[in-house]
Chain A
Amino acid sequence: MKKQTLHVSLGLLAVLLLVLIPQYGFAAGDEVAAVLEGAPKPSRLDYPMIWGISGRTVVWSMAQMHLFLAAFVLSVPLFSLATEFMGTVTGDDRFDNMAHEFMKISMAAYSLTALVGGGLTLSLFLFYPQMMGYMLKVFRGQVLVYAALFGFESITLYIYYYSWDALRRGNRKWFHMSIGLTLNTIGLTLMFIANAWATFMMSPAGVDPATGAVTGTIWEVTRNPLWNPLNLHRFLANIAYGGAIVGGYAAYMFLAEKDPVKKAHYDWMGYTSNFIAILGFLPLPFAGYWLMAEIYAYSQQMGITAMGGILAWLFIIQAVLIGTIMMAANYYLWSGLMRTDRGAHYARYVKYIAVVIVGGFLVWVTPHTLLLTSQEIQQLGGTHHKLLGPLGIMPAKNTAVNLMLVFTFMSFQMFYRSSRIPTVSWAKAGNMFIVALYVIGCINIVGAGLYGYITPTVYKVGASVPQVVTTLTIIIGSVIIDVFRLRGSKPETVHWGRMSERSQYALFVLPVAFTWLMGLMGYIRSSLRTHWHVYTIMKDNSAEAYIPTIGQAGNTITAITLGFMAIMVFVFWLSRLGATRQDETEAPS
């Protein structure tokens, strides 16, 4: 027990060092002398032309591919550790086996991440030498810290994976989990550093606004206004993304396996990863909202470019994608009700939830301000449609998204209830208390939406806060009540593997939609800088400084996604290959 405490505290110490006193992690190698030279002003000729290759497309593809892979290899250890912990607490070996299998999948992806990262660095220096020169001048020694951390990340990753069976039981398990904690701390720090580079380009800090000369420390540059919102957003999205990809893997294995025992294992794995994906996904809109609010606070101009300018259409696509993800996740949860005999009892509510989800989705995709041709404006009699106009504005959209989240949570709640029979005497009364919470909560969300609709703009924004709080209250409140309600409940047999083949396709929709959505959001985030390398500091004077059309962007994102899918198939195939053993009796011909 003492040993265990020691290891945990060692792990915590590492976290403290890197997180609580970030100045040490980030400011290492900082030179006191400020670099007083301003940002370079490259002319078009300073951007190398190499065989007519579109430099931006190369950098775009490399960066996006690196981000896909990195998000995957960062998130897998994260929930691998969580699953390992669950396995230790519950004593259920299935968790531990699954965590090990997760790690096996991510091992091959890890070296590919580094490879693509190298390719990205090379192409950046090749096509944007002046910009990279300036970035190095701004971030100085932090680049070396990044490289060193990357080395540590590799070492801890290999130790974590290869010591799995050696440190599997008892106190050794805690030691193993401390390694996992260190691994995740380093991994997250790596991501936070890379985020600082991306957000510096959007909201530069620590440099002279007129010339771009470096005036602040590395820490001041790192802690620019958009850094923390992006950190949170990417952290949550990584969890959701990793869960979705492993879910896709499990779904494929479920479809491919014939053995009922293995089928049951992969069904359970698919369910668990889907659960992790939804868990990461539910708070994501709020993190996105914070990021957007910070963008507005940093520069109203940039905020409006995103939400009201030419990029506004992209949020329509985003809404379609998120709607697709929600509907797929809900469909999967509903199919899961069939795993228990009790589930059928809940299945009758599914159609009502479906109505709310689809209805909310439709409100959400109703655009508000459209870029219309003058003919279209004449036909509509104004830029806003008379009937659909009110549905397009923020209060209606906020109401819709909050209701969708509440009802997605309800699907999930139905599912976990379907496998437990409560035994406490107040079970029915407790349930009614939760019903009351849902009813009043939904009225409150709709009411706040109406209130936002009839009041001036500041109130519209203000009224969205109670809505979010209501959604969170419903989720947290009913979880707390249910925890007590289901104390000492009788578990109902869950027939893992009793799942339709069709439901597995919902698990493929998730990673495909997530991947494409991430590509789209990356395009939006980069486009917000418009024709600047570093917003308001360093102009992009290359021939490709324009924002491409949605169609062009969509085609590029699809091509990158297809490439990523091909890599994932290869990675999965590799991990299967490692487990295949040639029969010894098979003689060479």
Chain B
Amino acid sequence: MLRNKWLALVIGLAFWAAYFYFIDKSIMEGQGLPVAANLMPK
């Protein structure tokens, strides 16, 4: 499995996407800035 580079790419994309999603979310919330949808400027 570790020899198939395309599989590694797919796993990599999924892994890093999940990683950054959680990191971003926790950093923003750690700064007291909840990630909400109603932030669009009027």
CB <8 Å contact, A470 and B20: yes
Contacting residue for A454 out of B2, B17, B27, B39, CB 8 A: B39
The distance in angstroms between the C-alpha atoms of A444 and B25, with both chains bound, is: 12
The distance in angstroms between the C-alpha atoms of A440 and B19, with both chains bound, is: 10
Q: At the interface, is chain A mostly helix, strand, loop or mixed? A: helix
Contact A462-B11, Cβ < 8 Å, known A425-B2, A429-B4, A436-B16: no
Contacting residue for B8 out of A432, A444, A455, CB 8 A: A432
CB <8 Å contact, A432 and B20: no
CB <8 Å contact, A456 and B16: no
Q: In whole Å, how far is B29's beta carbon from the nearest beta carbon of chain A?
A: 10
Identify the closest chain A residue to B1 (Cβ). Answer: A429
Contact A432-B3, Cβ < 8 Å, known A456-B41, A466-B24, A466-B28: no
Contacting residue for A436 out of B4, B15, B23, CB 8 A: B15
Identify the closest chain B residue to A428 (Cβ). Answer: B5
A430 at the binding interface (Cβ < 8 Å): yes
Contacting residue for B24 out of A429, A437, A448, A456, CB 8 A: A448
Contact A462-B20, Cβ < 8 Å, known A435-B9, A439-B13, A456-B41: no
CB <8 Å contact, B27 and A441: no
Identify the closest chain A residue to B33 (Cβ). Answer: A462
**Interface size in chain B (residues, C-beta < 8 A):** 25
Contact A459-B9, Cβ < 8 Å, known A441-B20, A466-B28, A469-B27: no
Identify the closest chain A residue to B21 (Cβ). Answer: A444
> A435 — which chain B residues lie within 8 A by C-beta?
9, 12
CB <8 Å contact, A436 and B13: yes
Interface residues on A, range: 20 to 34
> B9 — which chain A residues lie within 8 A by C-beta?
432-433, 435-436
CB <8 Å contact, A432 and B6: yes
The distance in angstroms between the C-alpha atoms of A473 and B39, with both chains bound, is: 27
CB <8 Å contact, A426 and B13: no
CB <8 Å contact, A433 and B12: yes
A458 at the binding interface (Cβ < 8 Å): yes
A431 at the binding interface (Cβ < 8 Å): yes
Contact with B along A403-436 (1 / 0, CB 8 A): 0000000000000000000000110111111111
Q: In whole Å, how far is A453's beta carbon from the nearest beta carbon of chain B?
A: 10
Contacting residue for A456 out of B2, B3, B17, B39, CB 8 A: B39
The distance in angstroms between the C-alpha atoms of A405 and B27, with both chains bound, is: 21
Q: In whole Å, how far is B6's beta carbon from the nearest beta carbon of chain A?
A: 7
The distance in angstroms between the C-alpha atoms of A292 and B19, with both chains bound, is: 29
Query: Could you list 27 A-B pairs, sorted by A, with CB under 8 Å?
Result: A425-B2, A425-B3, A426-B3, A426-B8, A428-B8, A429-B4, A430-B8, A432-B12, A433-B11, A433-B15, A435-B9, A435-B12, A436-B15, A437-B16, A439-B13, A440-B13, A440-B16, A440-B17, A455-B39, A455-B41, A458-B33, A459-B33, A459-B39, A466-B24, A466-B28, A469-B23, A473-B23
Give the interface of B toward A (CB within 8 A): 2-9, 11-13, 15-17, 19-20, 23-24, 27-28, 31, 33, 39-41
